[in-house]
């Protein structure tokens, strides 16, 4: 899934013209991609002169951190080490299930 690095985007608008389904908009200085409607053709990535349209794989560290934050918040509801360990195992099974579904 493409996404726009706002610090790299100069707002030239080339990607807006290139998108076949018109799901890129520019509400401010930089553009925004509608994830739900994007058909993953990659044209915006190819046309951007600033390499501001980035690949989803670059956001894996943020995804991991989000999962850790979520798990930490849930851990606050449990007191014993045993319960906390059980929760961690449940979360690991949940994330593994999500990976299988995605594959």
Residues lying near ligand SF4 in the complex (CB under 6 A)? 2, 4, 9-15, 18-19, 21, 23-24, 30-31, 33, 38-44, 47-48, 50, 52-53
SS3 55: coil
* Structural tokens at position 90: 């449940």
C-beta closer to ligand SF4: residue 10 or 64:
10
| Count of Cβ atoms closer than 10 Å to residue 12 Cβ | 15
| Whether the Cβ atoms of residue 1 and residue 38 lie closer than 8 Å to each other | yes
C-beta closer to ligand SF4: residue 38 or 74:
38
CB of 61 to ligand SF4, least distance (A): 21
């Amino acid at each position: 899934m493409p996404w726009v690095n706002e610090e790299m985007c100069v707002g030239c608008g080339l990607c807006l013209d290139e998108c076949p389904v018109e799901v890129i908009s520019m509400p401010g200085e930089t553009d925004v991609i509608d994830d739900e409607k994007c058909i993953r053709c990659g044209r915006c990535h190819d046309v951007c002169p600033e390499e501001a349209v980035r690949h989803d794989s670059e956001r894996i560290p943020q995804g991991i951190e989000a999962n850790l934050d979520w798990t930490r918040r849930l851990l606050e509801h449990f007191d014993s080490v045993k319960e906390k360990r059980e929760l961690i195992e449940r979360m690991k099974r949940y994330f593994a299930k999500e990976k299988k579904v995605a594959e």
